[in-house]
Amino acid sequence: MSDNETLKVNHIKEQICDICYKMWQLGWVAANDGNITVKLEDGTYLATPTGISKSFITPDKIVHIDNSGKLLENSEYRPSSEIKMHMRCYQERDDIGAVLHAHPPVATGYAVANVALDEYSMIETVIALGSIPVTPYGTPSTYEVPDAIAPYLGIHDVVLLQNHGALSVGADLLTAYYRMETLELFAKISLNAHLLGGAKEISRENIDRLISMRESYKVTGKHPGYKKYPKGNE
């Protein structure tokens, strides 16, 4: 690996640690919850280690793996047990450069209640994410989870994992992280709206206009459009 490549990898490791700490600070993870992977230019991956709190992650603990989860460098640490879920994301879409899994409390509340966030009621969320489905239940660390999420990855950048948490993907790590932020804020707003009598959805015409703005805003990734239109606008 050249000096320039080493610098890039070290920068990504530091970025992973920074985002791990942000997730912990925001209360999206507790104990050893959550995991992150980033795809490198050579087709290998950096991954957070299993069994370590995100508040204690340091660059030397980040592991370097291949697409099967095998360690490529000597390390006393091992990749997250959820690596199968991450690898399925990369297999399904070649535009994905990073995957983030966490348990943001309000969004995870929707996942636990098996309630999809498919309302089109918040302008920024319509542009950035579109509808957010709940994927079927899968036992962590097994192939049940990758198999459950695979059908949704073609048109969704963020999904809720039934009884589990949330998953976001992006062309890079910051994009995946921002999408998780958007998800959790939208979940909070949606819950408050329902407590106030129900969200008022955006009209079909304006949904179309907002989705068309993605290109001018240089929004990357996939977008489901609209799973359903507001009542009276079908």
Q: Average pLDDT of 116-128?
A: 93
Which amino acid does the sequence have at 116? Answer: A
Residue 195 has a pLDDT of: 96
**Phi then psi for 192, rounded to 5 degrees?**
-65, -40
Q: How confident is the model at residue 225 (pLDDT cuts 50, 70, 90)?
A: low
The residues facing 49 across adjacent strands are 79
Percent of the chain with pLDDT over 90: 86
* 151-196 residue pLDDT tens: 999 999 999 999 999 999 999 999 999 999 999 999 999 999 999 9
Structure tokens at 219: 């929004």
Fold that domain 3-212 belongs to in CATH: L-fuculose-1-phosphate Aldolase (3.40.225)
Residue 172, CA distances (Å) to 12, 105, 175 in order: 10, 24, 6
For the chain, state the CA radius of gyration. 18
| CA distance linking residue 184 with residue 203, whole number of Å | 23
C-beta atoms surrounding 9 within 10 Å: 20
CA dist., res. 65 & res. 95, Å (int) = 19
| Predicted local confidence at residue 30, as pLDDT | 96
Question: Quick one: tokens of 52?
Answer: 């370590």
Predicted TM-score (pTM) of the model is 0.93
